[in-house]
Structure 1
């Protein structure tokens, strides 16, 4: 009996008016926020008016070209460092920060960003106010068949110059060898990226968004290219050792002869 009375006493509470009633169920502990949500909230401060995202969008509206130049230059430099780290491509001092890093920053800030700013602005003006499905499809087609080849050609030309090309023949050889593979990647990713931008992003954020897409793809392509170059160097080194050159020097040159 005493045990039963004890259990009944636990289930009874005193109400504000002096009566009794059933005890409320215990509260569940608050669920732990997801890590991605915490990171996103920290970066954007809840997407509030004083958040980093809001500040960046204001800069894009107040000074679009300069903001895009800083963004593109930073991403291009980071892409080179990250690709070198992934491929384990160090300079003679064992560092991943090579002379290509500032060169890539200059390319991103003073070539890629202004070119993207102009090309995307022209594309948006051409299709301004046209929201039909047909217009969106035409915008994707024009982007992939007109704008993308121009941007990729400029990109490959700059990469050839950064790699050491000094003659027109060397630059042309690099562009001819790399344009089609780069265009294939563009044709696979650009329609999805452009469709996403059409549906969810304001016009002023298109260039930084496409810069980020290019950063991800470019990092992968850059790291893959570096790995292939290192493999070729190792093969040449081994061949040099077998040919009786104990110092391991090779006759290897990057594609295009530069």
Structure 2
């Protein structure tokens, strides 16, 4: 079942709510530049095990409204708070992939982990997506500027190249086209403005606000958010659990879907 939830006047975000209403809720937050649809292969299986899977389209993406403004991590985290309160869900597993992982971390800090029982960071774009002093990992700001410029000039070509980086294991051409279509469902300006947030926002100071069990799920062959991101998060988030996927890249929840689904459910049941 899908519906929109108003998060401010004139802006609604789309939510897909799948599985038993009395099941343990997992709130999935997608990464750049996708939508809740990227978690299809979790929605297919996890509800069978009794989980309530809630997929959120961030503002500007998928079937959510597309305002001209509001693409900072703070605003996107605030939208998540409204969704959680509107659904009146508790004991939530907040599962964020890539940029969605960064936004989930900001939510934990900005909203004191409101109603969150555990945090799952899937190839999270954190603590920083871009390189900096004493942080030689990720893209340079110039690299991200090129992505932003291509968003404004040839977004289909950008998404085609991004798909090649996203999956370490071979995918079919129809699957690649499906993946590109998900990205094209976003507004171009939303894609660009969230890339600015990826480029500029840092999460070092947010990590100390995480006081729930945290699972860090990361592929060793990730070409977008290198494995070092996950290793650093594991070091800095007290008591976190590290799930390393030796043969996966950024799209670990697809390329290692059976193992990932099992690991996520085991993490939920044992923490």
What TM-score, normalized to structure 2? Answer: 0.29
Q: 1 or 2, which has the higher strand percentage?
A: 2
TM-score (norm 1): 0.30
Q: Which has the higher helix share?
A: 1
- Name which one, 1 or 2, has greater alpha-carbon Rg: 1
